[in-house]
Structure 1
Amino acid sequence: MRNIFIAIISILLLGACSKEKGATLHPVDINVVLRLSGDQEGIAIPYKGATVSMINQTSSTKYSASITTDTNNVVFHQVVPGNYQISVELQLSAADYEKATGQKVSGSVIFTGTATANAVELTNSITVDVHTGGGTEAWVIKQIYYAGSNVKDGASFRDQFIEIYNNSDQLMYADSLYFAQVAGVNAALSGLDISKGWYIPATGQYDWSLSAGNNVADANTAYIYSGCIFRIPGNGKTYPVGPGKSIIIASTAINHKVPFIDITGKEVPVRNPDLTVDLSKAEFDVYMGDFPGKSPLSSDLKTSVPHMVVIANVNRDLILDNLGRDGYMLFKTTANIKDEWQQFKMPGASVTEDKTYFRMPKAAMEIYDGVEIQPTTMASRTPKRLPVDLDAGFSYVPNGSYSSQAILRKTQKTVNGRVVLQDTNNSILDFVVIKADPSKEAFTSK
């Protein structure tokens, strides 16, 4: 009898515990409120038609809704509580934009915004600041193939490339266009030890003011840091790129679908050519064999295509982080980077660390585009490294490293046969996922 009594009490206690745990998992309501930010703050625009999307960062559950009335908010009812990534997109007609702002524009204007929220109360209200994007002019990054292909059957990370697109209606010259990989924290934000002292507590990103000798004001806001900076060669009019045309920058400009002989004389096989790409027609590649103090990778062949001018490279080739911990930037500058911009170690670096990163003044650069990528899984996501004025969001490939997947910028419209790519300065909204395609003919339908 005593054993039966104990068993009954145990069952009751377990039930009570279950109810107590379940009480914290109640569905919640999330009210998402939109407002204009920046120099357009206070202007009354119609938010009707705005699309609001939310992703639960634990379960990856997605919710989406549109504002269908003359309000600036939308309410998500009875959703799973937790941390959410929220993104907003609103396309305003030229007439509505002119009516609201008094400014004439030639086409529709896109507003975007992002926010994160911890929604655990029964009712939650989140405000998302929205702003106009970067427009459609000049250079944009069209395609990024950072994932690489299968290590055993493909080409590993040897076949990585970036596609750069002339998004204007004018002939432009790629000469002296810079491509940089933005430095930042590679550790997952979820497991970051802020107590170490060299991170910004609010973001988890490096506090560059703590780098030895980096004593400038606004070290974290007025500058961007990079240890991988490459420049397209030329005399100013060597490499013309027509409106709606692309150039490819490859890690190594060879046909990765066929075997090759590496710099040690060893033949490197390719078991499944369908997994990788032919980069033999790339306009440029990166060659580290001539760079002082660097021993190139065995796959870093000296091809016949023009090589990028290497300003700095903490790696042994053009290596895009195939885990997705990276940020990319296109810019031009009149500065002599090596002579005029200083280099610093990362905050918290050991005294024996030899890698340094250029401190790049934002005011001294004409920045055309910035794209941030992140790891595939929520738990592996790192602190944001690009400022929100360059990229308010990020993109990623769902199948992860060595998947042969790339991200491709969406088509916004077609004008007289010329494709205009979408650039809202929010990569959550601007990119889709494709199988890597260096043909320059890859476009989304509009």
Structure 2
Amino acid sequence: MSNSKSRMSMKRILQQVSACICAMILVLSACKKDSQAPTVNYNVKVSYPASYTSTVAVGVKVTLKNSVTNTTSVATTNAEGVATFNGILPGNYQVIASKDLTAEEALSLTGYSTAVYLNASALNHVIQIDAAPLDLVLNGSKVGGLVFKEVYYACSRTPGGTNYLIDQFYEIYNNSTEVVYADSLCIADVHGSPGNSASSKPTGFQSDVNNVYVRNIWMVPGNGKSHPIEPGKSIIIAQTAINHKTDPAGNPNSVDLGTGIADFEVYVNAAASKDVDNPDVPNMIQIYAPNAGFYWQTYVFGASMIIFKHADPASLPLFTEPGTTSSTQLAQVPNANVIDAVEFLASATVGDKKRIPVSLDAGFGYAGGTYTGESMVRKSKATGTNGRLIYQDTNNTTDDFKVVATPTPKK
């Protein structure tokens, strides 16, 4: 009898233990389920410009990049021009759409047999639960011509760290199959905060989508055919055309921009100037440079640059920035005159500080910091005849450029 009671008692204990374990599993499962962040399904509809024969944009690559985690998701638009993303975490995103049209595709859509790069973007776009779909309209420009190949704006620091070394340079590459002459080509740095301070505001010109407002303009000298750039070749415009590696005030980890490397230099010849003139390297022509005191230096936190041509750049209209008390005047460059534009800001989360119209550059890039020696280099896309490199040019700095640890002029 006692053995029977003992067995029954043990059975009850085992049942209770089993019930407790099941309850614990259910609780842990519920906690795990509750701890998972909710996700959303999100649609992006992409259209061609209204002037195209069809506005439904099929086969467009759409990328969502989380501004905090830097994780990316990619989808392609369907027959209705809609790209669908499943399981996206709510948050702040950079949304970028891009498509290359061949000459044949462009002919049926535009009536012109010229290859076109198309893109559109929404920066600092917030995706929430039950958020409405995003509509994007593509813009673009024809393939080829001059492009920024390398943009070195972050600079390097002297070994002692007490002085900054102004070793900036800009490499411009002939991405076409024909000779392009650099004569009268203008380079300019775009006005506006790069977003390096929490208190900085977007430029007051941001609502003007048809023009770019620049701080300084410098022009390549020549009589029209003095400076040919062969297909697959480039020119370098240096802030100071010296070997910054061996200069006594330089940095052995910097870059050689001396004779034979730099094709032009920006020399500020003014009473307050601390600039150095290399007599073996032609000087750029100063068109408009009210901000060049000691020397010309673009934003080290993030430079936005354009190259353009204009019949009379010195006659470009000047404007003060709306919404500010600043008396500084900025030159207005029409989008139609811009040959190439690149946008670099201080970090991934400051897309609202974008200074260049989206139709010229849909995205932006950023270095790891200032005076790091890092440089921004355009990605190569293909190899043409005679080994000529063809560089990617989708009018989107986010996609077109990568960060390299050290500058690589003409390499």
CA distance in 2, matches of 1:439, 1:88: 30
How has the CA–CA distance of structure 1 residues 41 and 400 changed in structure 2, closer, same or farther, with 3 Å as cutoff? farther
Matches within 5 A, 1:218-257: 220-257=208-245
CA distance in 2, matches of 1:95, 1:222: 28
Corresponding residue of 2:346: 375
- The alignment status of 1:166 with 2:174, answered yes or no, reads yes
How has the CA–CA distance of structure 1 residues 341 and 439 changed in structure 2, closer, same or farther, with 3 Å as cutoff? closer
Q: 1:278 aligns with which of 240, 252, 256?
A: 256
One-letter identity of the residue aligned with 2:265: D
- The alignment status of 1:437 with 2:407, answered yes or no, reads yes
Structure 1 residue 421: Cα displacement: 2.1
CA RMSD of superposed structures (Å): 3.1
CA distance in 1, matches of 2:101, 2:199: 40
Q: 2:285 aligns with which of 305, 309, 317?
A: 309
Q: How many residues align?
A: 371
What secondary structure, in the 3-state scheme, does the structure 1 residue paired with 2:138 have? strand
How has the CA–CA distance of structure 1 residues 306 and 102 changed in structure 2, closer, same or farther, with 3 Å as cutoff? closer
Corresponding residue of 1:88: 97
Matches within 5 A, 1:30-429: 30-40=42-52, 42-47=54-59, 50-57=60-67, 59-67=68-76, 70-92=79-101, 96-98=105-107, 103-105=112-114, 109-116=116-123, 117-122=125-130, 124-131=132-139, 133-152=140-159, 156-186=164-194, 191=199, 204-207=202-205, 220-260=208-248, 268=249, 270=251, 273=252, 275-280=253-258, 281-288=261-268, 290-291=269-270, 294-297=271-274, 300-304=275-279, 305-313=281-289, 314-315=291-292, 316-324=294-302, 326-335=303-312, 337=314, 340-347=315-322, 350=325, 355-360=328-333, 362=334, 366-378=337-349, 380-381=350-351, 383-397=353-367, 399-417=368-386, 418-429=388-399
Q: Which deviations, in whole Å up to 9, do the C-alpha atoms of 1:175-232 show, x marking residues without a partner?
A: 1110011112455697567xxxxxxxxxx43159xxxxxxxxxx94554322211011
How has the CA–CA distance of structure 1 residues 35 and 332 changed in structure 2, closer, same or farther, with 3 Å as cutoff? same
CA distance in 2, matches of 1:403, 1:163: 19
What secondary structure, in the 3-state scheme, does the structure 2 residue paired with 1:428 have? helix
Q: TM-score, normalised by structure 1?
A: 0.74
How has the CA–CA distance of structure 1 residues 27 and 190 changed in structure 2, closer, same or farther, with 3 Å as cutoff? farther
Structure 1 residue 153: Cα displacement: 5.8
Query: Does structure 1 conserve the Cα–Cα contact (< 8 Å) formed by 2:194 and 2:301?
Result: no
Corresponding residue of 1:8: none
Structure 1 residue 258: Cα displacement: 1.0
Query: Does structure 2 conserve the Cα–Cα contact (< 8 Å) formed by 1:296 and 1:317?
Result: yes
Query: Does structure 2 conserve the Cα–Cα contact (< 8 Å) formed by 1:250 and 1:279?
Result: yes
CA distance in 2, matches of 1:45, 1:223: 27
Query: Does structure 1 conserve the Cα–Cα contact (< 8 Å) formed by 2:373 and 2:405?
Result: yes
One-letter identity of the residue aligned with 2:154: A
Query: Does structure 2 conserve the Cα–Cα contact (< 8 Å) formed by 1:163 and 1:247?
Result: yes
Query: Does structure 2 conserve the Cα–Cα contact (< 8 Å) formed by 1:136 and 1:422?
Result: no
CA distance in 2, matches of 1:282, 1:250: 6
Query: Does structure 2 conserve the Cα–Cα contact (< 8 Å) formed by 1:343 and 1:356?
Result: yes
Query: Does structure 2 conserve the Cα–Cα contact (< 8 Å) formed by 1:141 and 1:369?
Result: yes
Structure 1 residue 138: Cα displacement: 2.1
The farther-off stretch of 421-430 and 90-99 is 90-99
Q: Which has the larger radius of gyration?
A: 2
Corresponding residue of 1:213: none
What secondary structure, in the 3-state scheme, does the structure 1 residue paired with 2:398 have? helix
CA distance in 1, matches of 2:107, 2:224: 38
Q: Which deviations, in whole Å up to 9, do the C-alpha atoms of 1:100-138 show, x marking residues without a partner?
A: 556544x6x54322124211124542222223x333322
CA distance in 2, matches of 1:139, 1:255: 26
Q: TM-score, normalised by structure 2?
A: 0.80
One-letter identity of the residue aligned with 1:383: K
Q: Which deviations, in whole Å up to 9, do the C-alpha atoms of 1:149-184 show, x marking residues without a partner?
A: 234368844111000111222222211110011112
CA distance in 2, matches of 1:85, 1:169: 33
Q: Name structure 1 gaps, 5 residues minimum.
A: 1-18, 194-203, 209-218, 261-267, 442-446
Structure 1 residue 43: Cα displacement: 3.8
Q: Name structure 2 gaps, 5 residues minimum.
A: 1-30
Structure 1 residue 84: Cα displacement: 1.2
One-letter identity of the residue aligned with 1:145: Y
Query: Does structure 2 conserve the Cα–Cα contact (< 8 Å) formed by 1:178 and 1:229?
Result: yes
How has the CA–CA distance of structure 1 residues 92 and 232 changed in structure 2, closer, same or farther, with 3 Å as cutoff? closer
